[in-house]
Amino acid sequence: MKQTTEHTEVEPKERKLFSLVNEFTMHLKLSAGKSSSANNTAQSYANAMVIFKKFIRRAYSRKRKVKAPYPVSILADDVLLAYYDWLSKVPPDKAKQKAAALAEAKAKATDDADHPEDPDFTPPPPLPPPRYAHSTIQHYLAAAKRFLAWAVAQNYLENFDFGKAEVRLKDGKAGGGKAYPHRKIDPNLAAIVLHYDNLTAPDAEAETQGKSNLARYHARRRRVAVLRNRAIVHVLFDTGLRVSELTGLTRDEIDRALKAVPLPEDVAVEVVGKGERRRTVWITQDSLTHIQAYLQERQDPSNILFAGKKKGSSITRQMVWKIVKDGAKAAGVSDFTGPHAFRHWLARQLFDDEEDPIPIEDVQALLGHASPTTTRTIYAPHTSKARLHKALKKARKRPEDTIQN
């Protein structure tokens, strides 16, 4: 006699939220492949998800009384709005709080020293507590959105309404949301380039005559660094490249131009930017001259254009930032100046050309944006009034001139 066995369907075990976050960050890194831009994005999103985990621990453990490990079902359609509210209020971290307290104590000590027992002296108000910058909040939200969209696409969040979560975030931010924070670019930005132009590259041979090989080695490295930094700020000023695009440049792209006598006036270089979008930028003859001097002094077979400290590696993004910040400090340029300021500078020059303004679609192509909306929002929030007035005067007609006979 046959025995039949009844099979009961077992409920699949619910996924844990943090293991899903880890799977997502691993997915980003594997998808990035060898693209430096994609790898940078993957790493920045991975760092952002650390903050998302911190939010879950604090918001759900303390306020909603949910214990770890957290199941994915705790994510409701208010999660993005709750995350935004939390980011807007929470101090970034203890290190920044400590730095702010130290700055306040230092300012108070200075005031006390400058105004001893002065009854008329009113001390300045205390410094506001540190908060995440608007751009940082937007980046963290973008990472959280991408994670949620990925989890929904993988069917890990069956009951989660991503569209509703986005609408609730948008509606919640409508009352107190901020527009894109447009930082004013220092009009003397070019002073950074001039600073490096005027910086004397050490004469390694003269400085180390009669000294050890090690001394000659270090003197030569200092000379190469000065020539490299000079070439970097010139290329940034010419092209408005993103830092990741600059660090990904290779010698192949300009080698033929460097062998030409004389050097060409401009050389077209193809770069790969965000979203693996390719575009062409033009490096001027002046920049080529500085690149040529740097490569001749470097004397190595590496195909990397701007080399870093480690053999066979390109210069790091952090080092490019340091080069620009050091130049800005030496030249007396705004403290908020970084490599991206050159991008804003180039866009403003293109938009504000009174004689022959560049159409926004062309600026979009030059900067490598996916949409002209990005170009308009970030780089051209205010149209030049002088250019608008000139266009209006040109288009105006007298009433009698418009009558068609």
Which residues have a catalytic role annotated?
Answer: 242, 274, 340, 343, 369, 379
**Residues in the chain, how many?**
405
Alpha helices in 154-254 (DSSP H): 162-174, 190-198, 204-207, 213-239, 243-247
Q: Which of 166, 190, 159, 165 lies closest to 324, judged by CA?
A: 190
Helices 190-198, 213-239: inter-axial angle, 10-degree rounding:
150
Q: Rounded to whole angstroms, how far apart are CA atoms 56 and 62?
A: 9
Dig out the tokens for 7 from the structure. Answer: 């099979």
How far is residue 38's CA from residue 15's CA, in Å, rounded to a whole number?
27
Cβ(233)–Cβ(191) below 8 Å: no
CA angle 9, 14, 15 (to 5 degrees): 135
CB atoms within 10 A of CB 354: 9
Instruction: Tell me the C-alpha distance between 53 and 59, whole Å.
Output: 10
Asked if residues 24 and 261 have their Cβ atoms less than 8 Å apart, the reply is: no
DSSP 348: H
The residue among 299, 294, 336, 318 whose CA lies nearest residue 196 is 294
Rounded Cα distance between 342 and 234, Å, is 10
